[in-house]
Chains A and B, each alone.
Chain A
Amino acid sequence: MQRIKHSKMTRFIDCRLDDAIVKRARRGDLKAHELVYRTFSVPVYNLALRMMRQAAAADEILQETFVEVLTKIDSFRGDAPIGAWIRRIAVNKCLMQLRSVWHQRVRSLEPVLEAAETVELASGDRAISETVTDRMDLETALDALPPISRTVVWLHDVEGYTHNEIGELMGKSVSFSKSQLARAHKRLQVTLGNRSKDKPCMQVSNNC
């Protein structure tokens, strides 16, 4: 049996699986399926955790994703790496959860998001830094983003999805994805305490 070593930086792009294992999994070999799971469980969980913010929700997404991988592997055509197919399943599961009425109801009870969104609607970017503690680390700032912005920034900047792909996944346009990415970065910059936009425009000196 092939041993899979998990490095600290285990992302989808780092994971490779021999085609022979995928073929065995498609024939119903449970050991092969377990290898698929062991290879991709960490990146799937990590993706779900970043999009959903909660470990319990990430656990649920992880399980649902691999139940679907187990039961629907026949539908994997093999025209892209299996990791891409598994990732797409996981992303779709996350998006379905994020769109669910229950998840939106739970979200509405979260004070950080509610405060930030209310203030932003009222008086613009500068106010966000007044409601949030002085300097957040990036992980906290990412978690504080609204779900859609957080999803887009994670899928685009980390998972490498194009705006076209994100638009397709979310049932929206390319420009929607671009504007959400811009919005996410604007909020990240403000909550991380960057104030460069207040400086005057200066000509770069040419020392050549």
Chain B
Amino acid sequence: MHASIEQLLSLRDGDAVDNGLQQHVHSCALCLERLDELIAIRDELRRMPVKGPQHEHWPEILEAAGMSKASTGAKRHTWYAGVGLAASVLLVSVVVINQRPMDTGHVDVITSDNDLPESAQVDDVADNGQSRKWTTEEIEALVARSQRLEQTLSAMPRRPSVKRASTSDTIMGLQQSIAMVDYQINYSGNAVTQQQSQRLWQQRVDLMNSLVSVRYAETQPRRIASRR
């Protein structure tokens, strides 16, 4: 009966093992070979090249810890800017809130009316059961809302120097989804109906809303949780 890998690892690491096991391993060519392999892998792991950071991080670390001269001097200005930003985002949020859940970035690719999701079809049915016709004014209102969100986004401070990989993933996903919607808006031309156009612009507004929210959340001070 061969020794298991777990038993061989215990032997390798000098942990307590059964005497019988120890005797078997030392008298079995296969088990000895496997033990040597485990030792060799550990030694090779320890010899792997040590890799250091490719960029200088110290200034960013100081800034994130609030210990750089720049961050200390600019604290009051940042605070006032933060209040102004919060006010503008709150105003935009009140304008755009239509009780839609945060868009996670899923984009409906619309090629015909049949592609419209069922929820949109339900929403587009008027009280008399006829299909709702979106007016040009309503679509233009969505366009204007999208433009205001763009302006809010461009007015935001640049992304913090210490970025969370998860937030970056979310932002990238939203940006890609917006790009997909823009592509459909720009290249569909006269091929889309009012309904399809409304749907595309509504998607754009929802995605921009989500992006503004994530970017705003990112500008808030982070609490560092320490674990001992």
A residues at B contact (CB < 8 Å) = 6, 8-11, 30, 34, 37, 41-43, 45-46, 49, 54-60, 62-64, 66-68, 70-72, 75, 88-89, 92, 96-97, 100, 102-103, 106, 138-139, 142, 153-154, 157-158, 178-179, 181-182, 185-186, 188-189, 192, 194, 196-197, 199-204
Contacts and interface: CB of A to CB of B under 8 A. Distances in A.
A63 B45 contact: no
A45 B54 CA distance: 10
Contacts of A70: 61-62, 65, 67
Nearest to A37: B58
B53 A41 contact: yes
B140 interface: no
- Chain B CB count within 10 A is highest, among A67, A139, A196, for A67
Interface residues of B, number: 52
Contact of A64 (B26, B30, B162): B162
Given A46-B51, A60-B164, A201 B28 contact: yes
A153 B45 contact: yes
B6 A178 contact: yes
A66 B61 contact: yes
B50 A10 contact: yes
A67 B64 contact: yes
A203 B32 CA distance: 10
Interface in B201-228: 224-228
Contacts of A189: 37, 41
B5 interface: yes
Nearest to A183: B5
Contact of A139 (B48, B67, B163): B48
Contact of B30 (A9, A68, A92, A201): A201
Contacts of A43: 50
Q: Interface majority SS on B: helix, strand, loop or mixed?
A: helix
Contact of A67 (B10, B30, B224): B224
A42 B57 CA distance: 11
A185 B38 contact: yes
Contact of A186 (B5, B32, B165, B170): B5
A55 B54 contact: yes
A165 B181 CA distance: 50
Contacts of A89: 226
A60 B52 contact: no
A199 B45 CA distance: 26
A204 B53 contact: no
A60 B167 CA distance: 12
A201 to B, nearest CB: 5
B133 interface: no
Interface string B56-73: 011011101101000000
B57 A57 contact: no
A92 B4 contact: no
